[in-house]
Chains A and B, each alone.
Chain A
Amino acid sequence: MNKMLKYIIADILRTKVMIGYMVLLFVISFVVFASESNASKGVLTMMSIVLFMVPLVSVLFSAIYLYNSAEFIELMLSQPINRSQVWIGMYTGLGLSLIIAFCVGFGVPMLLFASNHGWVLFVSGIFLTACFSGIGLLASVKVRDKARGIGTVLMIWIFFAIIFDGMVLFLSFQLADYPLEKPMMIMSALNPVDLARIFVLLAMNISALLGYTGAVFNAYLGSGLGRLICATVLLGWCILPYWISLKWFKKKDL
């Protein structure tokens, strides 16, 4: 259906980064799962690694790949191909290759050692990959310069992975006298990494690790509904950045 897709995937698979990412994930997951006697403990250890690594690799790789494909994109756009075809080819090509690498690197050890608990983490890893590839697309279409673009995606990643938690904590201390439950739920919906974490922990029913936002989700919505809402919002996070980047790309001067 999309001729672009096959060339993009073939091109991405030629880069060694993808293989490296897959092997690294595989080795880490294998070692963690094999050395942990309790499968759910293994999943929790892997959770912190996946929530840290998957967004970083996805957003960086997507942005760098797009900057390096500027020539290819220009070449394609001087052919009878429209912009949305090129862009959806880029998104699906990047998303699919990263997801395949994640499925092999994390999925295989997960199936071998922790097939009962690991699947939630597996699903949230896929969500995060798609979402952060979209953010990479968004940054690369807006920021013209490659170095600044890479800086931008790193800042976005640091914000979601580290700074955001600090902000939530700070706000909850400062505003401790007020009923914060609902604003907190909205806050966590603004961070895909946080959502993915809550999604995993709700499924595993480990209230001690839920944190403030997670505990609110659990108390207000219960595990089932909470997970459903998390997954829906995460899906929105996979679509929204891509959708905005497509709008921008259609108007971009090359």
Chain B
Amino acid sequence: MIEIQHLHKSFGKFQALIDVNLLFEQSHCYALIGPNGSGKTTLIKSILRLVIPNSGVIVIDGKPCGSDPEFRRLIGYMPQNPRFPDSMTIGQIIAMMKDVRGDQQPDEELIKNYHIREMSNKKLGALSGGTKQKVNAALAFLFSPKILILDEPTAGLDPLAAEILKEKILLEKQKGKLILITSHILSDLDELASDLVYMQDGKVLLQQNTAILKMETGESSLTKAVASLMKNHDEPSLISNE
């Protein structure tokens, strides 16, 4: 469970996050959406403490996350643009991650389904964007973390690989994991998300259950519901506090 209270972050004069208050619960899958530069990645990075917030509290599993890094053991993170040390091979990086985490039975389902074993001697610098993304996904799911944070998980993946990933995400959700996804591909999110968080200009404008949202907007798909939402985003009636 992640609880965010009064989170502020600015980069110089630019206010990236303004008074963000959110509650993420287990066995929910949250779709974090919003235009480019609305603060989605900053929010995610603040949860991981890769970005240090100016003020505010983030509580993960009852513990406020500060300089003690143990809370990250609960989190599997898939960054937006997979960036790995170029000189390492796939096999080396997987072995290193296992060593660094140093616990648990690794969940190698994605490694198997993406045939990553067969490529383990390839250098990470020589991989295509899509293959890097596969490795990225496999690493995030490797230690069956309670919380999965996926930043644009299907970007760059071919349809088959994206399907494998979506199935994996659904499976983990059923196991009671908390999943937080950002994506611009709303049709992907439609199948996965149970809740929607809409951000704009560093503020959370809406947090709503997707079923209720579709009902309220009278649209059948998430894509259309969000589209009608974006058109009317400045209408205060849509800003609900759940």
Q: A: which residues have CB within 8 A of B?
A: 3, 7, 11, 14-15, 68-72, 74-83, 250-254
- Which among A71, A80, A253 is the interface contact of B69 at CB below 8 angstroms? A80
B32: CB under 8 A from chain A?
no
Please indicate the chain A residues that have their CB under 8 angstroms from the CB of B211 in the complex: none
> B74's closest neighbor in chain A, by CB?
A80
- List 22 A-B residue pairs with CB atoms under 8 Å apart, sorted by A's residue number: A3-B99, A3-B100, A14-B87, A15-B87, A69-B85, A70-B83, A72-B84, A72-B85, A74-B50, A74-B83, A77-B49, A78-B77, A79-B97, A80-B73, A81-B69, A82-B68, A82-B69, A83-B67, A253-B11, A253-B52, A254-B45, A254-B50
- Which among B71, B79, B86, B101 is the interface contact of A74 at CB below 8 angstroms? B79
> A85's closest neighbor in chain B, by CB?
B69
Within 8 A of A (CB), among B58-106: 67-73, 75, 77, 79, 83-88, 96-97, 99-101
Does A80 contact B101, Cβ atoms closer than 8 Å? yes
- Which among B11, B68, B75 is the interface contact of A78 at CB below 8 angstroms? B75
B23: CB under 8 A from chain A?
no
B199: CB under 8 A from chain A?
no
Does A81 contact B100, Cβ atoms closer than 8 Å? yes
In whole angstroms, how far apart are the Cα atoms of A250 and B69 in the complex?
12
How large, as a class, is the contact surface on chain B? Answer: 20 to 34
Number of A-B pairs whose CB atoms are under 8 Å? 62
In whole angstroms, how far apart are the Cα atoms of A11 and B84 in the complex?
13
| Residues A7 and B50 in contact in the complex (CB < 8 Å), given A14-B87, A79-B101 | no
B51: CB under 8 A from chain A?
yes
B178: CB under 8 A from chain A?
no
- Which among B71, B83, B85, B99 is the interface contact of A11 at CB below 8 angstroms? B85
B213: CB under 8 A from chain A?
no
In whole angstroms, how far apart are the Cα atoms of A72 and B125 in the complex?
12
In whole angstroms, how far apart are the Cα atoms of A150 and B84 in the complex?
22
In whole angstroms, how far apart are the Cα atoms of A251 and B99 in the complex?
27
Please indicate the chain A residues that have their CB under 8 angstroms from the CB of B50 in the complex: 74, 77-78, 253-254
In whole angstroms, how far apart are the Cα atoms of A254 and B79 in the complex?
12
Please indicate the chain B residues that have their CB under 8 angstroms from the CB of A72 in the complex: 84-85
Does B45 contact A75, Cβ atoms closer than 8 Å? no
Bitwise, B95-122 to A at CB < 8 A (1) or not (0) is 0110111000000000000000000000
Please indicate the chain B residues that have their CB under 8 angstroms from the CB of A75 in the complex: 83-85
In whole angstroms, how far apart are the Cα atoms of A78 and B83 in the complex?
12
| Residues A79 and B72 in contact in the complex (CB < 8 Å), given A7-B96, A71-B85, A254-B45 | yes
In this complex, which of A68, A69, A78 has the most chain B Cβ atoms within 10 angstroms of its Cβ?
Answer: A78
> B69's closest neighbor in chain A, by CB?
A82
Give the Cβ gap from A68 to chain B, nearest Cβ, in Å. 8
In whole angstroms, how far apart are the Cα atoms of A99 and B51 in the complex?
33
Give the Cβ gap from B78 to chain A, nearest Cβ, in Å. 9
Give the Cβ gap from A93 to chain B, nearest Cβ, in Å. 13
In whole angstroms, how far apart are the Cα atoms of A254 and B45 in the complex?
8
In whole angstroms, how far apart are the Cα atoms of A15 and B125 in the complex?
14
In whole angstroms, how far apart are the Cα atoms of A79 and B74 in the complex?
9
Please indicate the chain B residues that have their CB under 8 angstroms from the CB of A74 in the complex: 50, 79, 83
Please indicate the chain A residues that have their CB under 8 angstroms from the CB of B148 in the complex: none
Does A78 contact B87, Cβ atoms closer than 8 Å? no
In this complex, which of A71, A77, A79 has the most chain B Cβ atoms within 10 angstroms of its Cβ?
Answer: A79
In whole angstroms, how far apart are the Cα atoms of A77 and B51 in the complex?
11
| Residues A251 and B52 in contact in the complex (CB < 8 Å), given A78-B79, A80-B70 | yes
Give the Cβ gap from A159 to chain B, nearest Cβ, in Å. 28
Please indicate the chain B residues that have their CB under 8 angstroms from the CB of A252 in the complex: 52
> A79's closest neighbor in chain B, by CB?
B100
Please indicate the chain A residues that have their CB under 8 angstroms from the CB of B88 in the complex: 11
In whole angstroms, how far apart are the Cα atoms of A7 and B95 in the complex?
11
The 7 closest A-B CB pairs, nearest first, are A71-B83, A82-B69, A80-B73, A72-B85, A78-B77, A253-B51, A254-B50
